[in-house]
Amino acid sequence: MSFEKSVIETMRKRQSVRTYDSQNIREAHANKINDYLTNVANLLGPFGKRGKIQMVHVTNNVTDKGIKLGTYGFIKNPSAYLVGVSENNKYALVDFGYTFHRLVLYLTEMELGTCWMGGTFHRHSFEKEIAISKGEFIPCVTPIGYEKDKQRMFDKVLRFVVKADNKKPWDRLFFDTSFEKALTKGQAGFLETPIEMVRLGPSASNKQPWRLVLSDNQDICHFYIEHTPNYSTKLGYDMQLLDMGIAMCQFELACKELALQGEWAVEEPMLNLPNENFEYIVSWRSKEI
């Protein structure tokens, strides 16, 4: 699929929506979503893993099957949910984060609101609604619908609590050739905007676990995760791997819009890591140089 508008601008404006207008998803939008979900290529991630995403329509959070979908009161008046299914392993989760976020951006372009939910929903209720094969689980869901004209105070307070609008600066996220030297925007060259899109991406509890290291000639960008100790362990999976998929999606879509050619490869550079919480994920190699 291709975006009809600037995906970079879509990334800049997208934010979580928790309170929706009561109107149903317009037929034209529902058809576009269904067409998107039936295209296998849209559900395939950079590592070749394919998850599943299903749209479930609701009225007062109750599905057509009469199943009550629980979200601990965080979501008001959604028209539907997009429910994701994935295997529970490293690259399957990264791939799923990538494909799910690409869909989220597609919905944002259509002026549909979304809200990534990894821990604040009753998985058991959603599991009753969709088919899950052995070895699969639901890593996340998002409500969808049209944002209420006036954002509720609850939404604003929650954004403040999770510091959703406070993104870490470059010198805490991005590095020049090694983790010993921070990367500045001026040193990022033609990758400045894609790297900035990584910084602006959503992440669980706004932890922003991505760490990027740019090679000396700016042709390779290494993606690492700095795990938050014990984060999401009670859920039985590493939610922050989804964040790395989001980071890859933001980076790659920005590169494509700017006509920057490159490819993903697992080629660990064996850098000295700041601590035991760092883990290598993948590298993006430019075809421009």
**Domain at 124, CATH number:** 3.40.109.10
Q: Is residue 272 part of a domain?
A: yes
Between 239 and 165, residue with greater pLDDT: 239
Q: Is residue 17 part of a domain?
A: yes
Q: Is residue 278 part of a domain?
A: yes
Residue where a domain terminates, one of 127, 156, 185: 156
**How far, in Å, CA of 289 to CA of 286, rounded?**
7
Q: Say whether both 150 and 11 belong to one domain.
A: yes
The answer to whether the CB of 243 falls within 8 A of the CB of 224 is: no
List of E strands, 155-243: 174-176, 210-214, 220-226
Residue 123 CB coordination number (10 Å): 17
Q: Say whether both 214 and 102 belong to one domain.
A: no
Q: Say whether both 151 and 184 belong to one domain.
A: no
User: What is the pLDDT at residue 165?
Assistant: 61
Q: Say whether both 123 and 242 belong to one domain.
A: no
Residue where a domain terminates, one of 94, 128, 156: 156
Q: Say whether both 144 and 280 belong to one domain.
A: no
Q: Say whether both 135 and 11 belong to one domain.
A: yes
Tokens of 171: 């010198």
Of 273, 204, 195, which is closest to residue 238 (Cα–Cα)? 204
Give the range among 47-51, 195-199, 246-250 with minimum mean pLDDT: 47-51
Q: Say whether both 145 and 209 belong to one domain.
A: no
Q: Is residue 162 part of a domain?
A: no
Provide the 8-state DSSP code for 28. Answer: H
Domain that holds residue 196: 170-286
pLDDT at residue 256 greater than cutoff 90: yes
Q: Is residue 202 part of a domain?
A: yes
- Number of domains observed in the structure of the chain: 2
Q: Is residue 85 part of a domain?
A: yes
Q: Say whether both 138 and 181 belong to one domain.
A: no
Q: Is residue 1 part of a domain?
A: no
pLDDT at residue 157 greater than cutoff 90: no
Q: Say whether both 72 and 14 belong to one domain.
A: yes
pLDDT per residue over 85-137, tens digit each? 999 999 999 999 999 999 999 999 999 999 999 988 999 999 999 989 999 99
